[in-house]
Chain A
Amino acid sequence: MILQSLWHSIEFSGIGQSIASSEVAFPLIETFHVFAIVTVVGTIAIMDLRLLGLTSKKWTASSVSKDTLWLTWAAFVVAVITGLLMFVSKASTYMVNPYFLVKMAMIAAAGVNMAMLHRGPWKAIGSWDSAAAVPANVRLSATLSLIFWIVVIFCGRFIGFTLGVYQAPM
């Protein structure tokens, strides 16, 4: 298949091979991936729990967003860069790993969910900004966000345990 040869050539590219053949490169990249993903999920949880009215109830939703959102994005950029570096070192193994594929789908779903919130109910934030109980569709969005990101963490961890289980066809 054409895609398989694509993953294969990514894996055997110069950068892919230098990461795969170094003893410290992969764990080092992984370490920064952990710093980043922990910050992404931690700050998103702060926002979602506010939207669910569980924490920061005295603070407006927009002020919590201002506190956390830039940090979420900065950490997300680091997570994507480090994630790509890990991906290129084992591209064909990741592409046949169901946990990896579910993880990517969950990140995409989280992105769509966030975009829908910001294009929809967030536009009318003035009417619910300081309310402890935000509109139901916002609470739904926050619940989905928490679920998606928790699944991302679980999948990420399971990838490491199943790399040998799902082998790419040569």
Chain B
Amino acid sequence: MSFFDTLFHMTEWLRTTWVVDFSLWVSNTAACQWLQEHFVAIPGFQSIHILAIGVLFGSALMVNLRILGVAGGGHSVPETVQRYMPWLWGGLAALIVTGIILLVSEPVRNMVNPFFWIKMTALLVTVLVTAWFHLSVRARMDSWDRSSNGQGAIRAGAVALIILWCIVMAGGRWIAYAPV
């Protein structure tokens, strides 16, 4: 069975769950109606959503590439973490807010959609890994001298996080291409 067949079956299964009733209920809310009636609303909020990913992913790249010793060699790991992690979390907050607005704007298209749930699962994993990562980098801050590029699990985590954020972004893009 191909990947697309699997997705197709996921959609069929989603149609048998509470998600259908819930998304139809959201469709009837005033917020959804307003977003639907204003042509610029959906692409506008999508654009803000993408700008927020720019802030988040730019920050994630700077931190993770610094830990890998690929970029940002002029500044220490602690300095880099202090500079960018608040922006990463801020970007995430903006993403969640615009994401909820986008979810309300097209509830059925989003929720009765395997890519949406794949994206949400990937997002949850990525946020948990980021939080663990932030805490463990912070715990080692004192022992990190200016030139150290991080070690072991931390380096693996840096690579994993870049890939995980890409999976989340890909999930978002493919919501528009779910087989139905």
Contact = CB atoms under 8 A, between A and B. Distances in A.
Interface of A: 27, 30-31, 34-35, 37-39, 41-43, 45-46, 55-56, 59, 63, 66-68, 70-71, 150, 153-154, 156-158, 160-161
Contact of A31 (B50, B74, B83, B174): B174
Contacts of A27: 173-174, 176-177
Instruction: Give the dominant DSSP class at B's interface.
Output: helix
Task: Report the contact-size class of chain B (Cβ under 8 Å from the partner).
Answer: 20 to 34
Contacts of A157: 43, 46-47, 50
Contact of B61 (A45, A56, A71): A71
Contact of A154 (B47, B72, B83): B47
Contacts of A31: 169-170, 173-174
Interface stretch (B10-18, B52-60, B104-112, B147-155): B52-60
A42 B170 contact: no
Contacts of B93: none
B174 A43 contact: no
**Interface residues of A: mostly helix, strand, loop or mixed?**
helix
B177 A45 contact: no
Contact of A63 (B39, B75, B177): B75
15 contacts: A34-B169, A34-B170, A38-B50, A38-B53, A38-B169, A41-B58, A42-B55, A42-B57, A67-B72, A67-B75, A70-B71, A150-B51, A153-B47, A157-B47, A158-B43
B127 interface: no
Contacts, number: 89
A68 to B, nearest CB: 8
Contact of A41 (B42, B46, B54, B177): B54
A133 B99 CA distance: 35
Contacts of B79: 59
Contacts of B47: 153-154, 156-158
B24 interface: no
Contact of B54 (A30, A45, A63, A158): A45
Nearest to A60: B74
B58 A67 contact: no
A59 B75 contact: yes
A153 B174 contact: no
Given A31-B174, A63-B74, A158-B43, A42 B169 contact: no
B74 A154 contact: no
